[in-house]
Structure 1
Amino acid sequence: MDVMKENFSNFFQENKIRLSVILVSFLLSICGYTLATLRFQGEYIHRHQWITTFADYKKQLRESAYPTTPVLLIAGDSTPLFGVDAKTLSEKLNKPVINYGLGAASGLSTILNETFYSVRSGDEVILIVSDRLLAENSELYLNQALVNILDSEEMTAATWLQQIQSLLFAPWDIILFGFDGADDDSHFMEVYQTQSLGEFGDMNAEVLASNNPPTLPNKITRAYPVSESAIERLNQFKNELHAKGVKFSLLLSPRMKGYTDRNNYKNVIYANIESLRSAGLTILTSQNDLPDICFDKKYLYDFDTHLNTTGRDIFTRYIANKLLQQDLKTLL
């Protein structure tokens, strides 16, 4: 025992500076995490708060428009928010439709949870999210890494490896100092408000027409392979909806043309479709549909997956045709 104590004492003396640095770093990390969490709690910045605000608004919209009638919810991130005209789709399908598109900034789980809280027995949910939202954490928007560490429940439930990964990919400049103050006066703040929404939850065409977006960059998003963790989460969501008496399917999101004509891009998309199907998920997009979800720049609004009103009309007709074909197959 004395030998062990002596060895420990010697080790500590030889490494006291190194151990002190590790301890101080650990304490500073804990303090930074606590301060960041307190900073974002309650006074959550608009880039994240708007998603929760939209979700609350759309819950109320569903309650007032269709309090007892089953509806088709087009759920997801901001791609369906901009890309689906709920009223037109409702007319073509002859059924109530709510655009429940939110945003990607708070991650896939937030979108699924908010959607789950809004559905009732007899509803149908079609999920449309950007490919990046189904990729590994390191491939996601930096905002997802922000949410990973600020959501105490997710952080606590994660493995040590996942916690370290989340901390490594966290945008610490945003956590400690927030977004650029000039953002308050930006296009983002003008458009991403509940006042910008139409009567069935999509973006109001007049709002889009009256707010010229920043110049759309020529950057083309590459293909992102769907991750096993995303497939697992989607299957969990499907089962939760099934227990509630709600149908669930997926549709690949619209995107800017570019790499989409290349074989390596197509192969990733085809593999994603097969992976989702093999996992028991219903995906409405077929391999032949890739040209139908790829759009020239003239059909885009302020992002490479956000359609303008002309692009939205095209994509909405595509969805209507897919669902009508599916209904026909069911009847046959």
Structure 2
Amino acid sequence: MFELFFYFYPSEPVLKIKKLMRIKEKYATEIEGPKRLIVGGSDALYSFNTDLISEKTNVPTVNFGLNVGLGMGFILDVARRNIKSGDEVILCLAYSLYFKPSYDVFAYEYYRMLRKRELRHFSWKQHGYYILLNLKLNIKYFMQKFKSGEEGEQRPLHFSESGSCLDADGSAFAARKNIPLQFPDKFEKTASVLALEKFYDACTEKGITVYITYPSTLGFERYKDLNYLSDLEKYVTGRYDVIGKPSDYFVPYENIYNSVYHVNSKGQEKRSMRFLEELQLRKGDSSTLKNK
């Protein structure tokens, strides 16, 4: 059974990731001159209206938000092959990307289906773990497809040519998802953090500007006293060019769409407009924006 799954099963979630990636990469390759990439997991996908940002800044901007389950290494690999000297990269990284495996569950599934040579990133122990986990996830996904009207989770969404999620209106937020994120007790330099450092340093050498910002996520009171978040902020501020701080992007319930990391259309508008203001302040140039 596992052998059949490994060689032949076409995971629909991964096919969706592949399709979304192609939209973004096609748009990026057609841009002449400097461009801006907003890179991260699905929180970035929902948070930034890159059509609006492109219009207001006169810099073609592509939303490279993918899926947090791909891992830091995979997400940065995608960004790396779509940037060149003179470009600008905004890394809006979900908190779990810092402490989860650099190549995570969906990276394994993507490579299993489409690029088996890249499975070299995984140990034999990880092979067994991810095959079992992806088998369970695919069964769960298959079963959910046939549950009619399950909490609005199957509502179709649309994506702009520049890669942003559109039409996430209202809320489809299941009560069972209304729980705080889980964090490690302390911040550590994981393989994912080392991959981030390597990416940042390589970009700097090539004349690519990189900023790090924090994800929009549903705010919970307990986040105010988390050692992990304060330690992460100290590390990021001391190592990178940073936009904002974690608490700037804790959003209220009414701005959440279908998970603690996914804002709805109102949340997207707020985050996009705030980003434009932050960009203007960062660059210190009122001409950065037009017709705001």
Per-residue CA deviation, residues 273-328 of structure 1 (Å, 9 max, x unaligned), is 222344x333323xxx3332001111010110100011111111222222212111
**Equivalent runs, 1:132-151 vs 2, <5 Å:** 132-137=96-101, 143=106
1:233 to 195, 204, 217: 195
Larger Rg: 1
Return the offset for 1:233. 0.1
1:89 to 50, 53, 61: 53
**Equivalent runs, 1:68-83 vs 2, <5 Å:** 68-83=32-47
- The match for 2:144 is 183
Does 1:253 pair with 2:215? yes
Distance in structure 2 (CA, Å) of the matches to 1:316 and 1:142: 29
2:70 match: secondary structure: coil
Does 1:304 pair with 2:265? no
Structure 2: 5+ residue stretches without partners? 286-292
2:63 match: secondary structure: strand
Does 1:59 pair with 2:28? no
- The match for 1:19 is none
Distance in structure 1 (CA, Å) of the matches to 2:18 and 2:109: 16
Distance in structure 2 (CA, Å) of the matches to 1:148 and 1:136: 18
- The match for 2:251 is 295
Return the offset for 1:268. 1.7
- The match for 1:118 is 82
CA contact (8 A) 2:35 2:60 kept: yes
CA contact (8 A) 2:72 2:196 kept: no
- The match for 2:7 is 38
1:132 match: secondary structure: helix
Normalised to the residue count of structure 2, the TM-score between the two structures is 0.80
CA contact (8 A) 1:81 1:102 kept: yes
Per-residue CA deviation, residues 188-213 of structure 1 (Å, 9 max, x unaligned), is 66536xxx1023221122xx23x963
Indicate the RMSD between aligned Cα atoms, in angstroms: 3.2
- The match for 1:200 is 162
- In the superposition, relative to structure 1, how do residues 237 and 261 fare at CA in structure 2: closer, same or farther (>3 Å)? closer
Higher relative contact order (CA 8 A, sep 6+): 2
Per-residue CA deviation, residues 155-186 of structure 1 (Å, 9 max, x unaligned), is 5355xxx543x257536164278323233357
Return the offset for 1:61. 1.7
Return the offset for 1:62. 2.4
- Residue type matched to 2:218 in 1? M
- In the superposition, relative to structure 1, how do residues 291 and 243 fare at CA in structure 2: closer, same or farther (>3 Å)? closer
CA contact (8 A) 1:222 1:259 kept: no
- In the superposition, relative to structure 1, how do residues 260 and 125 fare at CA in structure 2: closer, same or farther (>3 Å)? farther
Normalised to the residue count of structure 1, the TM-score between the two structures is 0.71
Structure 1: 5+ residue stretches without partners? 1-30
Distance in structure 1 (CA, Å) of the matches to 2:77 and 2:209: 16
CA contact (8 A) 1:254 1:293 kept: yes
- 1 or 2, which has the higher helix percentage? 1
1:62 match: secondary structure: helix
Return the offset for 1:141. 7.2
- Residue type matched to 1:105 in 2? G
Return the offset for 1:73. 0.9
CA contact (8 A) 2:50 2:162 kept: yes
Distance in structure 2 (CA, Å) of the matches to 1:153 and 1:38: 13
